[in-house]
Structure 1
Amino acid sequence: MRKPGTLTDTAAATALGPDPDPSTAHATAVARILAGPLTITKRASATHVRSGATVSFAIRVTNQSTTAVHDVSVCDRLPAGLVHVSGGTVRGAEVCWTLRSLASRRSHTFVVLARAVSSRTRAVTNVATVRGRGAGPRSARTTVVVLGPAPTPPPPSVTG
């Protein structure tokens, strides 16, 4: 992988006879080489969580390139069954963070806390995505099982 920056290639052509327009004998192409990839991993504090309890998600973003990546944005889409409690800025169904810059070979961890809400047991998957200037989107997903509310114990029996 080349370092980010620009690559310039110049070509020249010569005619076998008189050239009616010598200004077209040279061409230059400039290719922009983008910053290297960002990677993202995600883990939940629990694989199963009872409705009403909280679960945290740690999202780790790493810059694998040899130069800084700028304007890094991380968004975690909370699905139905998870409600934002803290961490990041809520934008609709997403919780987002931004970094002005992530240095070469460095990582940053973001944490979101969510409350599980479900009237029945079901698996919910949420997806976090990272983007940066010159670094395309990458995603990571985590699934947790939200357990329905705890069963209500039967009323005590009365004997007479």
Structure 2
Amino acid sequence: MGTDRPHLEDRMLAETICSAVSAAGLGIAALTAYRRRFLAATRIAAYSLVPVALVMTGIVEWISGMVFNPTVWAGFGLLGLAWLLLATTRAVERRRLGASGKPAKAGKGSPAPEAVAPAASAPSLGPGARPEPTGRKNPQAAAPADDFSDIEAILKKHGI
């Protein structure tokens, strides 16, 4: 019976706080209704009834049992430590690995990591690289030098 005593006091404290919050909220709702703001007063009254409802359903007792229990806090501390360790290892791993998945070179003047797709900006292979669809002819494949002549003409026209 001696072990239940601290838990009972914690629960009574939590219930008293919830009851006081509800009473204050209902008082504010009454003042708001007196000012003829009935929708706001109804909303305030609804919110102020929530703490009493939580006490009556037993949720406050369950929460106060967790909040005032040192073992629960130690568990939360261990969860935080585990998360911190995982986040640290991921950050170190990302710094160590370059963009290509190879270990990055250490040093002050190390070059920037390689591009993810270095061949993506390479020029096309030319007219014979892709098979032409049957029945169609690609006019650009026949004269690749004409591509730039159009651009040059436009630039000359504008004086560039």
Q: Same fold (TM over 0.5)?
A: no
- Could you tell me the TM-score, scaled by structure 1's length? 0.18
Larger Rg: 2
- Could you tell me the TM-score, scaled by structure 2's length? 0.18
* Structure with a larger share of its residues in strand: 1
* Structure with a larger share of its residues in helix: 2
Higher relative contact order (CA 8 A, sep 6+): 1
